Amino acid sequence: MSEVAESETRCGYVAIVGRPNVGKSTLMNHILKQKLSITSRKPQTTRHNVLGIKTEGDTQAIYVDTPGLHLQHGKAINRYMNKAATTALRDVDVVVFLVDRLAWTDEDDMVVKRLQNLECPILLAVNKVDQLEDKEVLLPYLSKLSDRIQVDEIIPISALREINVDALEREVEKRLPTGMHFFPEDQITDRSSRFLAAEIVREKITRQLGDELPYQMTVEIEEFSHRGDIIHIGALILVERDGQKRILIGEKGAKIKQIGQQARIDMENLFDCKVMLKTWVKIKSGWSDDERALRSLGYDDV
């Protein structure tokens, strides 16, 4: 009986890779029809590999949202992000290589090099095509891309507008191997609630402060407890300098209060219950270039 079931089901891992800020997290969120990966206009918002599990009928596609592969290697955190994205390519069944419209960069070439020796199918998804003013330039560009990289299929999409995303999913699903599902039908990620809460706070900071606050900021959840039907969450925000702390707190605490309010709303939607969120800011000099500090902060999953 189990042999019959296995032959009728498909299951596999799908790595979504690309340079920073091409829309990888947006794509996974729209595939899942749920916000799982944090997003912002700022490159390198995604720092960890995040699994997004989509089960529909006999098919389970396990998407891996990865940090953007980038040429900057200066700090330990940059090396960690590149290593995380590269590690995601091991033993996957399909790769979705996401690029941004007509904008090809040296970092896209870097991704191509990482994909060269893979034996699994590679789908090239050209994102944000809805933003092209002249649609006639698209076909010649897709032809040029096919000369640049050997892929199984090229699919123009808009992750944000959900244009052709279903076509991309169909191309992924038909390339997944047959086999039993790895996760329960109702599970959407392998990440803990603590991790997701920290990411939500980090997203709100990144979106609120943009270029005002550099990348030397991270979030650690120090409390996550259920008391009755309320979740109490304590979020410690780490920065590297006093000036960064002042920017984050804002005048009379206005900025940190606004960040906390926005984060709490997203947490209540995600956890489907009332949340009491407390945030505070602490200076931890040099954490982003200290491998021991990174490990203690959870940057050790590769």
pLDDT given for residue 188 in this prediction: 95
pLDDT given for residue 4 in this prediction: 38
Cα-Cα-Cα-Cα dihedral of 112, 49, 72, 131, to 10°?
60
Domain with CATH 3.30.300.20 in the chain: 193-296
Collapse the DSSP code of 176 into the 3-class scheme (helix H, G, I; strand E, B; otherwise coil) and give the result.
coil
* Distance separating alpha carbons of residues 268 and 214, to the nearest angstrom: 28
pLDDT given for residue 245 in this prediction: 94
pLDDT given for residue 252 in this prediction: 94
Give the fold, CATH level 3, of 2-173: Rossmann fold (3.40.50)
Helix (H) or strand (E) holding 193: helix 193-209
Tens of pLDDT, residue by residue, the chain (302 residues): 344 344 589 999 999 999 998 999 999 999 999 989 988 887 778 888 899 999 999 999 999 999 888 887 668 888 888 888 888 898 899 999 999 998 899 999 999 999 998 999 999 999 999 999 888 898 899 888 888 889 999 999 999 999 999 999 999 999 999 999 999 999 999 999 999 999 999 999 999 887 777 667 899 999 999 999 999 999 999 999 999 999 999 999 999 999 999 999 999 999 999 999 999 999 999 888 888 878 877 777 65
The answer to whether 124 and 153 have CB atoms below 8 angstroms apart is yes
Domain with CATH 3.40.50.300 in the chain: 2-173
pLDDT given for residue 73 in this prediction: 65
pLDDT given for residue 1 in this prediction: 38
Give the fold, CATH level 3, of 193-296: GMP Synthetase; Chain A, domain 3 (3.30.300)
Helix 165-173 / helix 24-32 crossing angle, nearest 10 deg: 80
The answer to whether 223 and 193 have CB atoms below 8 angstroms apart is no
